[in-house]
């Protein structure tokens, strides 16, 4: 039951995250208006073709004119500001451009056409559709095997744009057998710039859910991704990590496919990279893995994730803190053995620090860690958690505006009292909460506008703080010192 | 023009040359008349300039630099606060481009018709905003975009940009090299300062005289071309007649304390009116070199020359003041006539003289020699500031005793120079190193201490080169520049070295030794000090001299 709840909330939060990312897409580079023309074929460029002239030439029979017109089209589409993609589509020349892709007699024409189509496909879904409906998919896939590297590279790029548009086109490409020729391009001799394009296109073939990419396709791609993860180029590594993070962002079966490749130790290693653009996707991938089964989570633990997380919880970038805490929350949702590993790997101190003064979003995730911990942990483990000083920052967070977080904290407090009850230390915990001004805060929450918050707060008050204060609050000594909350009280007042 | 804003306290930093002193005098007079408070600090070199700046930067916001500061990047070496303002009046050229194009902190006082040939701003400065190519950073760490457009030949574009930039930088280096290659001098600072006073209608006769002395200093030190000298003399001559005309009404007769400036064609004989004609002939570089007085034949030639004029030796050797008045009447014409026969066609020069009352008459060059000697006086171990102040004082018209003291020193100085020149030539100390001539004074040479002073050493070098050119038969050597070295500080084991341009009639007086010294020092890791405002003067460790010269030879070959 607990498991389910956690996963739902993870799902929810993930969905939100994706939404933000979608909004952010396509804001890549904004450079100045490019200077009129640069490059080797500058001489030709002086002839500015009008759109009508382009249409005429493209539809004509003169190869030279076709080339000029295609080049002009490509130029218009590759200027930095507001390329007139719609206008070009309206010219109706896409089918001709697709035709040109097959013109093995003119490599230049193939190249220019591939470039032009790349840029058309880089626009909105409608633009991409125009390219696909023009029949570009099979033509581009055959170009992957072109003897000219710059042409196959351009084809890779165009296919990447198509694959990135939606699962439907992604699967259409896979159905057209894009994967074998694409993977064939990867070799130790491939120039790094080319390799970046291939990696990015591969990542788009792994991207998106509902549905996930076909299993057999994934299985073909994974070995190559493992190879690319060992490359030295940061962009190649980063995009490969992103690809893995897409593949692990799904049901447990999909996670299993990835885990079985034995890729986790490398991912954990990359999580520890000093390079921000590598850490982010590697952490995301591992974070996805630990949403899986206990066994899958254990694989991540065995790969050493708990040794890296303390550093990431203290990372200078808030977004890394947040993702690290999210990852930890899912490990804390595991069986008590895994919780024990969290303790023994020294994660409680950085967790308390994060709770105390981390980024707000990271704090919310940290609250989830504590909540899951108190739900699944043994009484001893919960005691250990309290001793590490978690109560004070946790109670402080009751002042936040977000009622969802407040509810989780109140839930956690209830869990703590349950544990204290088992130890017969309820009064001590009451005292402790009171001393940390927690009682006032909880009492105030009875006036909270959110009904659930009100009920949860009331519930705690009624259960543990109602009635007369016990006059005989002599510190009760537990059967053995370990269980004595007063010990951790002293810890608190240091 | 800018001096209107001078209502605050000002720090005056003045270099040690006569032109600077004259400019300083003019400015002081202006300040006095406008009640501007100022503090004067003499600076002999870059180190002193820096120290003086550091010491005073907290008390002052306005700094006036005279004959220093124009040819280096002042903001770079002084690191001033943003509200510090420099007014630079400096004849050193070329002016550093940063100084030229900085109009917030550096105000240059330059005559507008001076041809500066400063490179265009766009050729040497470039706004750095071109560098913002890596704007992708902000999206770092976020998911890769789902679609990417390929821009116009990104790679090519970037390499093109880089190539253009490289070309631009190469061109910039070339332009700057051309611009900075030669060191030379612009209009005298005293003249520039006088112009300022004149524009504000505050020009006094004293100021005009100082301007004349400043210009004459440039001529005596051989810093400007003959053309420039004659042009500037013309400018000043107009001022002189304007002043004299104005004064005629006020003071109908010459009173005892009045001064009167007169333009005249005078003899190019150093200090002759305060010396004997004979001494002056012997110790003037022009006559001494032309007659080759260091040789026996030269001495004979001098006798013949005097005989030709029909002047009795006794008259010639006694004080000029005491010479027979009848002889003096046509003296100039007589001397010129004979000089022409002996190949000295340029003995006549355009200059100015000044009368203080009836008794005292000085030519502008007399003042230059006297002031220089006071400034580089080595007779007493006194701080340089004292010499500076004395030299400055000698320029005031009330200070005749200081002036006479200066004249005496100047005679000693000229004699010392002439004797050193003679001994260098007679003992063949001037040797050709290929691309330049080289002469090194040994420790223990008479008067060697005097030549550790920059102005004296420069004078010596110029006189020596003139004489050498007259003495040698090697035609190639006649066209070579000269590098001269003299011991500077025996204890510290340093020498002072100066490079001067070739002695040709059409000489543009441009000096490339500044850059050459710099490069030679760099390439040999010699321990050198470019402390003088004149870049072609350098100080270096004696033991480094060998490798430094080797580098200089291969650099200029």
Interface contact flag, B142 A24, Cβ < 8 Å: yes
Interface A-B: count of C-beta contacts within 8 A: 95
Q: Which alpha helices (H) appear in A102-184, and where do they start and end?
A: 107-121, 125-133, 136-143, 149-165, 167-175, 179-184
Report residue A269 as tokens.
């290693």
According to CATH, the topology of domain B1-113 is inorganic pyrophosphatase (n-terminal core) (3.90.1640)
pLDDT at B175: 87
pLDDT at A324: 96
pLDDT bracket for residue B162 (50, 70, 90): confident
pLDDT in the model for residue A27: 30
Q: Is 50 exceeded by the pLDDT of residue B377?
A: yes
B149 Cβ under 8 Å from any chain A Cβ: yes
Whether pLDDT at B210 is above 80: yes
pLDDT at B4 over 70: no
CA B106 from centroid of its chain's CA atoms: 22
Mean pLDDT score, B238-257: 70
For residue B194, pLDDT beyond 60? yes
DSSP state at residue A333: T
Mean pLDDT per 10-residue section of chain A, whose length is 494 residues: 36 42 31 34 51 91 92 85 88 95 94 95 93 96 94 95 94 96 94 93 93 94 96 93 94 94 96 93 95 94 96 93 94 94 96 92 94 93 93 93 91 93 89 90 88 90 72 43 40 32
* Residue percentage of chain B with pLDDT more than 90: 35
Please answer whether residues A241 and A279 qualify as being in contact, where contact means their C-beta atoms are separated by less than 8 angstroms: no
Q: Which is more confident, B491 or A183?
A: A183
pLDDT confidence of residue B188: 94
Q: Which residues in chain A touch residue B156, judged by CB atoms under 8 angstroms apart?
A: 38-40
> pLDDT value at position A491?
37
Q: Which residue has the higher pLDDT, B114 or A471?
A: B114
Question: How far is A315 from A317, CA to CA, in rounded Å?
Answer: 5
Helix (H, G, I), strand (E, B) or coil at A73: helix
- Alpha-carbon distance of A10 to B164, in angstroms, equals 53
Residue B498 is predicted with a pLDDT of 94
Query: Mean pLDDT throughout B356-373?
Result: 88
Max mean pLDDT range (A258-272, B308-322, B325-339):
A258-272
Question: What are the tens digits of pLDDT across the range B287-304?
Answer: 999 999 999 999 999 999
Query: Does A78 sit within 8 Å of B150, measured CB to CB?
Result: yes
d(CA B38, CA B433) in angstroms, rounded, equals: 49
CATH code for the domain defined by B430-556: 3.10.310
Residue B361's H or E segment, with its range, is strand B360-363
Question: Which of the residues A82, A163, A277, A320 would you substitute to probe the B interface, choosing the one with the greatest number of B C-beta atoms within 10 Å?
Answer: A277
Q: Determine if the peptide bond prior to A211 is cis (ω within 30°).
A: yes
Instruction: Show residues of chain B in contact with A38, CB under 8 Å.
Output: 152-153, 156-157, 160
In chain B, the residue whose alpha carbon lies closest to the alpha carbon of A246 is: B143
* Chain B residues inside the 8 Å CB shell of A84: none
* B368 in Cβ contact with B213 (< 8 Å): yes
Choice among A100-104, B311-315, B549-553 with the minimum mean pLDDT? B311-315
Which uninterrupted H or E stretch holds B438? strand B437-440
B152 touches chain A (CB under 8 A): yes
Task: With a cut of 90, say whether residue B461 has pLDDT above it.
Answer: yes
B491 Cβ under 8 Å from any chain A Cβ: no
CB contact (8 A) between residue A160 and residue B145: no
Q: Give A375 to chain B, closest Cα distance, Å.
A: 33
So where are chain B's domains?
Answer: 1-113, 204-248+255-415, 430-556
pLDDT at B362 over 50: yes
Q: What is the pLDDT of residue B146?
A: 83
B152 contacts A79? CB cut-off 8 A: yes
Distance to chain B for A475, nearest Cα, Å: 53
- CATH 1.25.10.10 applies to domain A40-185: yes
Q: b/e map of A116-147 (b: 16 or more CB within 10 Å)? A: bbbbbbbbeeebbbbbbebebbebbbebbebe
Give residue B102's pLDDT: 81
What is residue A32's DSSP assignment?
P
Residue B443 sits at the chain A interface (C-beta within 8 Å): no
Asked if B150 and A204 come within 8 Å (Cβ–Cβ), the reply is: no
Pairwise CB contact (< 8 Å): A276 & B143: no
Q: What is the pLDDT of residues B38-74, one digit of tens each?
A: 899 999 899 899 999 988 888 888 899 999 988 888 8
pLDDT at position B421 is 93
Cβ-nearest to B145 among A25, A118, A319: A25
pLDDT band at B492 (very low <50, low <70, confident <90, very high): confident
**Across residues B415-431, what is the average pLDDT?**
92
Section B459-472 average pLDDT: 91
Average pLDDT score over residue span B224-237: 92
DSSP B294-324: TSHHHHHHHHHHHHHHT--HHHHHSBGGGS-
Question: What's the whole-number mean pLDDT along residues B148-157?
Answer: 68
Structure tokens at A366: 């940290």
A interface mutation test: which of B144, B153, B155 has the most A CBs within 10 A?
Answer: B144
Question: CB–CB of B147 and A123 under 8 A?
Answer: yes
A409, A390 Cβ separation under 8 angstroms = no
Tell me: pLDDT of B363 over 60.
Answer: yes
Nearest to A21 among B142, B151, B156 (CB): B142
Take residue A238 and report the two structure tokens written for it: 């980063």
Q: Which residues of chain B does A270 touch, with a Cβ-Cβ cutoff of 8 Å?
A: none
Q: Is B153 in contact with A39 (Cβ distance < 8 A)?
A: yes
Rounded CA-CA distance B344/B139 in Å is 82
Selecting from 1.10.10.10, 1.10.760.10, 3.30.70.3040, 1.25.10.10, what CATH number does the domain A205-292 have?
1.25.10.10
Average pLDDT, rounded, for chain B:
85
Model pTM greater than 0.80?
no
Of B143, B150, B152, Cβ closest to residue A118: B150
- CATH 1.25.10.10 range(s) for chain A read 40-185, 205-292
How do strand B106-108 and strand B184-185 relate by DSSP bridges?
Answer: unpaired
Looking at residues B489-493, what average pLDDT do you find? 86
Q: What is the DSSP string of B40-90?
A: EEEE-SHHHHHHHHHHHTTT-SEEEEESSSTTS-HHHHH---TT-EEEEE-
The arithmetic mean of pLDDT across residues B179-189, rounded, is 89
**Is residue B275's pLDDT more than 80?**
yes
A contacts of B133 (beta carbons < 8 Å)? 31
Residue of A38, A83, A203 to mutate when probing chain B, most B C-beta within 10 A: A38
Question: What average pLDDT does this structure show over B407-421?
Answer: 93
Q: Report how far residue B273's alpha carbon sits from residue B259's, in angstroms, rounded to the nearest whole number.
A: 18
Which residues are within 8 A (CB) of B202 and not within 5 positions of it... i.e. 6 or more apart? B30, B33
Residue B141 touches partner A, C-beta closer than 8 Å: yes
Task: Quick: pLDDT tens for B497-512.
Answer: 999 998 876 677 888 8
**pLDDT score for B191:** 94
Beta strands at B360-363 and B348-356: parallel, antiparallel or unpaired: antiparallel
């Amino acid at each position: 039951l607990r498991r389910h709840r956690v996963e739902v909330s993870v799902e929810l939060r993930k969905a939100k995250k994706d939404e933000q990312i979608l909004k952010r897409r396509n804001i890549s580079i904004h450079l100045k208006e490019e200077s009129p023309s640069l490059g080797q074929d500058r001489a030709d460029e002086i002839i500015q073709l009008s759109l009508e002239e382009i249409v005429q030439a493209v539809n004509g029979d003169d190869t030279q004119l076709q080339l000029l017109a295609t080049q002009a089209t490509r130029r218009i589409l590759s200027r930095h500001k507001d390329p007139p993609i719609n206008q070009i589509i309206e010219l109706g020349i896409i089918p001709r451009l697709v035709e040109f892709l097959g013109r093995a007699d003119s490599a230049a024409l193939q190249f220019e056409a591939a470039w032009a189509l790349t840029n058309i496909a880089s626009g909105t879904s409608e633009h991409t559709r125009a390219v696909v409906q023009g029949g570009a998919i099979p033509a581009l896939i055959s170009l992957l095997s072109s003897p000219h590297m710059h042409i196959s590279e351009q084809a890779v790029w165009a296919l990447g744009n198509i694959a990135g548009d939606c699962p439907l086109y992604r699967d259409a490409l896979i159905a057209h057998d894009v994967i074998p020729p694409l993977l064939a391009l990867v070799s130790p001799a491939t120039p790094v710039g080319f390799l970046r394009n291939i990696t990015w296109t591969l990542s788009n073939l792994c991207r998106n859910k509902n549905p996930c990419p076909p299993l057999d396709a994934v299985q073909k791609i994974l070995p190559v991704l493992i190879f690319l993860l060992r490359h030295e180029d940061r962009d190649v590594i980063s995009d490969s990590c992103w690809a893995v993070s897409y593949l692990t962002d799904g049901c447990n079966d999909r996670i299993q496919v990835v885990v079985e490749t034995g890729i986790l130790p490398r991912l954990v290693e990359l999580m520890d990279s000093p390079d921000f653009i590598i850490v982010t996707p590697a952490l995301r991938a591992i974070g996805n893995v630990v949403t899986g089964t206990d066994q899958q989570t254990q694989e991540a633990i065995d790969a050493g994730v708990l040794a890296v997380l303390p550093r990431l919880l203290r990372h200078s970038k808030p977004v890394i803190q947040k993702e690290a805490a999210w990852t930890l929350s899912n490990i804390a949702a595991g069986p008590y053995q895994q919780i024990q590993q969290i303790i023994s790997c020294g994660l409680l101190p950085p967790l308390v620090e994060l709770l105390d003064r981390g980024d707000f979003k990271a704090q919310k995730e940290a609250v989830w860690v504590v909540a899951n911990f108190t739900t699944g942990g043994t009484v001893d483990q919960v005691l250990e958690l309290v001793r590490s000083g978690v109560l004070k920052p946790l109670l402080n967070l009751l002042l936040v505006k977000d009622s969802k977080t407040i509810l989780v904290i109140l839930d956690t407090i209830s869990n703590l009292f349950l544990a204290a009850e088992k130890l017969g230390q309820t009064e001590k915990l009451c005292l402790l909460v009171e001393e940390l001004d927690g009682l006032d805060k909880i009492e105030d929450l009875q006036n909270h506008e959110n009904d659930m918050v009100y009920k949860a707060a009331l519930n705690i008050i009624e259960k543990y703080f109602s009635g007369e204060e016990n006059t005989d609050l002599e510190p009760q000594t537990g059967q053995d010192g370990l269980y004595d909350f007063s010990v951790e009280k002293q810890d608190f007042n240091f | 023009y800018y001096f209107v804003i001078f209502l605050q306290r000002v720090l005056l930093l003045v270099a040690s040359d006569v032109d600077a002193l004259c400019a300083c005098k003019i400015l002081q007079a202006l300040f006095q008349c406008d009640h501007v408070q100022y503090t004067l600090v003499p600076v002999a070199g870059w180190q002193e300039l820096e120290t003086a700046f550091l010491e005073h930067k907290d008390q002052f916001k306005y700094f006036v630099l005279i004959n220093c500061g124009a040819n280096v990047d002042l903001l770079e070496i002084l690191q001033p606060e943003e509200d510090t303002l420099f007014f630079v009046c400096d004849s050193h050229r070329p002016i550093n481009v940063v100084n030229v194009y900085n109009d917030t902190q550096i105000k240059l006082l330059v005559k507008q018709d001076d041809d500066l040939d400063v490179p265009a701003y766009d050729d040497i400065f470039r706004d750095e905003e071109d560098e913002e190519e890596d704007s992708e950073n902000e999206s770092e760490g976020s998911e890769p975009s789902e679609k990417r457009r390929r821009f116009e030949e990104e790679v090519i574009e970037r390499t093109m940009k880089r190539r253009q930039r490289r070309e631009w930088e190469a061109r910039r280096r070339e332009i700057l090299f051309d611009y900075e290659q030669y060191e030379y001098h612009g209009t005298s600072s005293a003249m520039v300062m006088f112009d300022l006073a004149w524009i504000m209608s505050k020009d006094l006769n004293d100021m005009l005289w100082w301007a004349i002395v400043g210009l004459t200093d440039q001529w005596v030190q051989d810093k400007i071309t003959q053309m420039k000298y004659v042009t500037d003399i013309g400018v000043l001559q107009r001022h002189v007649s304007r002043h004299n005309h104005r004064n005629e009404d006020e003071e109908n007769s010459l009173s005892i304390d009045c001064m009167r400036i007169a333009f005249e064609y005078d003899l190019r004989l150093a200090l002759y009116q305060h010396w004997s004609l004979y001494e002056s002939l012997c110790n003037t570089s022009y006559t001494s070199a032309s007659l080759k007085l260091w040789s026996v034949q030269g001495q004979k030639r001098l006798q013949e020359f005097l005989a030709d004029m029909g002047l009795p030796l006794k008259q010639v050797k006694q004080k000029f003041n005491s010479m027979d008045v009848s002889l003096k009447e046509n003296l100039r014409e007589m001397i010129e006539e004979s000089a022409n026969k002996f190949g000295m066609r340029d003995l006549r020069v355009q200059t100015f003289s000044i009368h203080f009352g009836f008794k005292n008459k000085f030519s502008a060059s007399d003042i230059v020699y006297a002031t220089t000697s006071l400034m580089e006086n080595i007779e007493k171990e006194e701080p340089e500031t004292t010499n500076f102040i004395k030299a400055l004082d000698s320029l005031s018209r009330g200070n005749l005793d200081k002036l006479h003291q200066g004249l005496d020193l100047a005679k000693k100085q000229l004699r010392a120079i002439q004797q050193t020149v003679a001994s260098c030539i007679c003992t063949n100390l001037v040797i050709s190193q290929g691309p330049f001539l080289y002469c090194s004074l040994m420790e223990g040479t008479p008067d060697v201490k005097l030549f550790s002073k920059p102005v004296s050493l420069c004078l010596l070098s110029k006189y020596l080169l003139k004489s050498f050119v007259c003495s040698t038969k090697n035609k190639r050597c006649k066209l070579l520049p000269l590098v001269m070295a003299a011991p500077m500080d025996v204890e510290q084991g340093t020498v002072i070295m100066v490079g001067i341009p070739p002695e040709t009639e059409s000489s543009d007086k441009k000096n490339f030794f500044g850059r050459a010294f710099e490069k030679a020092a760099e390439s040999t890791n010699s321990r050198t000090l470019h402390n003088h405002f004149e870049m072609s003067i350098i100080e270096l460790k004696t033991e480094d001299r060998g490798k430094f010269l080797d580098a200089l030879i291969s650099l200029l070959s």
